[in-house]
Amino acid sequence: MMRLYIAGQSARSLAAIANLRKICDTHMPGRCTIEVIDLMRNPELAKADQIVAIPTLIRKLPIPVRRIIGDLSATDKVLMSLELTVV
């Protein structure tokens, strides 16, 4: 499961959602659950995962925890960070 922290319907937030869905559909079909957390609606949730910038993607499992900040448009970098490709 991955959590994507966003701020409302900003262009970067919408791009991050679309890019993450595309990555999951292409590289992890049927194996990816995305939880989108809008910090405009629930700002208190930022503290639990120590969110300092948005959008931020957090993958807690498998360990180690991975954090990616940005709109996730650099697909190759996202895949490397999530350990879904061989370097």
CATH (domain of 71): 3.40.30.10
Take residue 49 and report the two structure tokens written for it: 């995962």
Average pLDDT over residues 63-74: 93
> Does the reported pTM lie above 0.85?
yes
Residue 15 DSSP code: H
Report the number of distinct structural domains present in the chain: 1
Residue at 87 is within a domain? no
What lies within 8 Å, CB to CB, of 87 at 6+ separation is 80
Do β-strands 2-6 and 34-38 pair in parallel, antiparallel, or remain unpaired?
parallel
| Percent over 70 (pLDDT), the chain | 97
Residue at 86 is within a domain? no
Closest CA to 4 of 42, 35, 32, 31: 35
What pLDDT is recorded for position 63? 85
Residue at 56 is within a domain? yes
Residue at 37 is within a domain? yes
42: containing domain: 2-81
Closest CA to 20 of 80, 81, 72, 84: 72
Cβ atoms of 1 and 60 within 8 Å: the answer is: yes
